[in-house]
Amino acid sequence: MALPTGFLAGGVACGIKSDPTTPDLALFASDRPATSAGVFTTNRVVGAPVKVSRERIGRTGARAVLINSGNSNACTGERGIKDALWMTAEVAARLGCVPQDVLICSTGVIGRFLPTDRIATGIGPVVDSLVATEVGFLAAARAMMTTDTVPKQASQTVSLGGRPVTIAGACKGAAMIAPNMATMLGVLMTDVRLAPRDAQSLLAAAVEDTFNSISVDQHQSTSDTVLLLANGASGVELTGESRETFQGALTDVCRELATHIIRDAEGASHFVTIDVVGCRDRCEARRMARSVADSPLVKTAIAGNDPNWGRIVSAAGYAGVPFEERECSLSINDIEVYRSGAPTDFQENAVSAAMRTGEVRLTLTFTHGSAAARFWTCDLTAEYVRLNADYTT
């Protein structure tokens, strides 16, 4: 994996999780001040780290992002804020910067105070573990995981005016994943030089069609955060043309990370791509795509490789978008099952066999216009229920 110049990462286990050997403390750092940008959950209830980090983005002195898994430090009142501030101060002291230059994210169970005694034993080691290698980035990506089964990373190098710029990122997902916000924890690092306002607008645009276009279970987390650090180590600044190239690459990296989340969603056995096309505007297309993505009945049918297409059409029907049935058609893995308001004479077995591959493409086509939206989701399985029926106790 290509790494942006001047970034280091590392991860350690410090006992926040019940198994003391499972990594739970990650650190990403820049060897020089970086411009930071961030998008955060729009939940009214937000974790203490979100409150701390959103005050600290939009500056040019960012040096690090500290992430712990196993405890989200959310719904923990004043004590939670105090704990988050303390963690960033501990890291800052070791990196030789001020606490304001350290961003923080936490993920895991909601409503428990952080085990600060154990975290205290991990701060030194995680700073000492920082290296500018793939091994270090992988260790950090692992230490961010909760019920994720695989670490999630992506990177891309693009040439801007003949000079290489790299974007690398890591994220974690698994559950409590829903769109209309930054939907999980993600850190993006690039060695391009960016002003804070540019960094924020590039990040916001990339997130919209990627992290904000996925849903595992429609439950918006209290910790959702995507951060971007741009340290300028490549010496490259964006111009009008190269800005477009960079935006495309940043969006590609975000899309790869977002689809990693869906592929590793809790209990999921199918990766589902929903395209809604032929709409009046993108907002209407998105609303219908999301309604389909969030329906437990659609998701359970997919789990069973059941081409129960009436559930898909009816989920679009309650999305609040006006349409007549004859203006709507539906394909499942390119097999048309519903055309202009009436069922086609399709072979159920053929559709079911296509679904059994684990890759499901739903295409809802309307006759209203040319706007479209794409959304990614997964199926709903008994394994998801098992995983979530017994998470804290």
- Integer CA distances (angstroms), 41 to 49, 183, 206, 286, 358, in order: 11, 7, 16, 19, 30
Helix residue ranges, H only, 264-364: 282-294, 296-303, 310-317, 348-355
Give the end-to-end CA distance of the chain in Å, rounded to a whole number.
38
Strands 328-332 and 371-378, bridge-based pairing:
unpaired
SS (H, E, C) 66-103: EEEECCCCCCCHHHHHHHHHHHHHHHHHHHCCCHHHEE
Rounded Cα distance between 361 and 363, Å, is 6
For 157, list phi and psi in degrees, rounded to 5: -115, 130
Nearest distance, CB of residue 111 and a second copy, angstroms: 4
Rounded to whole angstroms, the Cα distance separating 223 from 50 reads 6
Give min distance, CB of 17 to a second copy, in A: 17
Q: Closest CB to a second copy among 60 and 388?
A: 388
- Measured from the CB of residue 273, what is the shortest distance to a second copy in angstroms? 20
183 catalytic per annotation: yes
Catalytic-role residue among 166, 183, 210, 251 = 183
Minimum CB–partner distance for residue 196 and a second copy (Å)? 28
Largest Cα–Cα separation, the chain: 69
> Smallest distance from the beta carbon of 288 to a second copy, in angstroms?
10
Q: Among residues 76 and 155, whose Cβ is nearest to a second copy?
A: 76
Which residues are marked as active site? 183
